[in-house]
Amino acid sequence: MRLFLKKITHPFLKLGLQYYYFKPRNYCYQDICIQVHPDVFPPQMTFSTKILLDFVNTIDLKDKKFLELGCGSGIISLLASKKEAKVTASDINQKALDFLEKNATQNQLEVQTVFSDLFQNLNGQTFDCMVINPPYYPREPKNIKEQAWFCGEDFKFFEKLFVQLPHFLKETQCFMILSQDCDLEKIKAIATKNAIAFELVLEKKELVETNYIFRIVSS
Ligand SMILES: C[S@@+](CC[C@H](N)C(=O)[O-])C[C@H]1O[C@@H](n2cnc3c(N)ncnc32)[C@H](O)[C@@H]1O
């Protein structure tokens, strides 16, 4: 995990990312094509978004209420909408939500965007299905762009998330993607403290990185 943290904070990689992301870039999944703002999590730079897209593609979402918590580019939300779900996409990055609205119009898909720190502005709504691709590197984010990667030195994102999540788990199928690059044991320990358990539903190795999709359930 430290190695990867070094990788994503390495000056050359940072410079490379800055160079590539000096302007919005295109990203497509099937026939859904979007523009991703430089301040938004880049779906083409990691494996997690693509793995979640392939996974969501296998779920029957017709007429289901679907939430992508921390939607970033929102490509997963757009796929869920294409699969006829009623979609809510939330994030604390307003730029991400603005771009998602434009991308939804351009793809003729419907998504309700909500600016929200975790569940704060979701007004107690319930969902049939929820997906989360969380920030998981333990470092304090310095700006909105870094909130996509860093969960806080003390894993604050997970501490808050796992306090709020149990209210939803009765009605909601909740899926979270994590990677071998993160401190899985620490994240699971925070979950356990809040009576939450992880059930492995998918393990996928891409090049040197293994990703896991967990179903999050009450323990
Ligand atoms: C790893 S990115 C995943 C983006 C997208 N879901 C995907 O799979 O491509 C994490 C996202 O969570 C958002 N985020 C971070 N902290 C958040 C919070 N407290 N509440 C809501 N969203 C948050 C970030 O802005 C970022 O868009």
Domain at 207, CATH number: 3.40.50.150
* Of 121, 114, 110, the residue nearest 97 (C-alpha): 114
Q: From ligand 1's centre to the CA of 171, what distance in Å?
A: 22
**Which positions of the chain have pLDDT values less than 50?**
1-4
52 lines ligand 1 (CB under 6 A): yes
pTM of the model: 0.94
pLDDT of res. 13: 65
Contacting residues for 209 by C-beta, under 8 A, at least 6 apart: 47, 179, 180, 181
96 lines ligand 1 (CB under 6 A): yes
Query: Residue 79 sits in which domain range?
Result: 2-218
* Of 147, 68, 149, the residue nearest 113 (C-alpha): 68
pLDDT of res. 2: 42
pLDDT of res. 139: 95
pLDDT of res. 10: 63
Number of domains in the chain: 1
46 lines ligand 1 (CB under 6 A): no
74 lines ligand 1 (CB under 6 A): no
pLDDT of res. 1: 39
pLDDT of res. 93: 98
pLDDT of res. 23: 83
pLDDT of res. 21: 72
Beta bridge partners, 198, equal 216
Residue 115 Ramachandran class (φ > 0 left, ψ -120 to 50 alpha, else beta): beta
Average pLDDT, the chain: 93
Task: Match 């998330």 to its residue by tokens.
Answer: 161
Three-state secondary structure call for residue 74: coil
Task: Match 């990703």 to its residue by tokens.
Answer: 211
The Cα–Cα gap between 100 and 103 comes to 5
**Helix and strand element counts for the chain (H, E):** 7, 9
pLDDT of res. 7: 58
Q: Whose CA is nearest to atom 13 of ligand 1?
A: 70
The Cα–Cα gap between 25 and 42 comes to 9
Total Cβ atoms within 10 A of residue 101: 15
H-state helical runs in the chain: 2-9, 11-20, 48-57, 75-82, 94-106, 156-164, 184-193
In the chain, the percentage of residues whose pLDDT exceeds 70 is 91
Q: What angle do CA 148, 50, 202 make, to 5 degrees?
A: 100
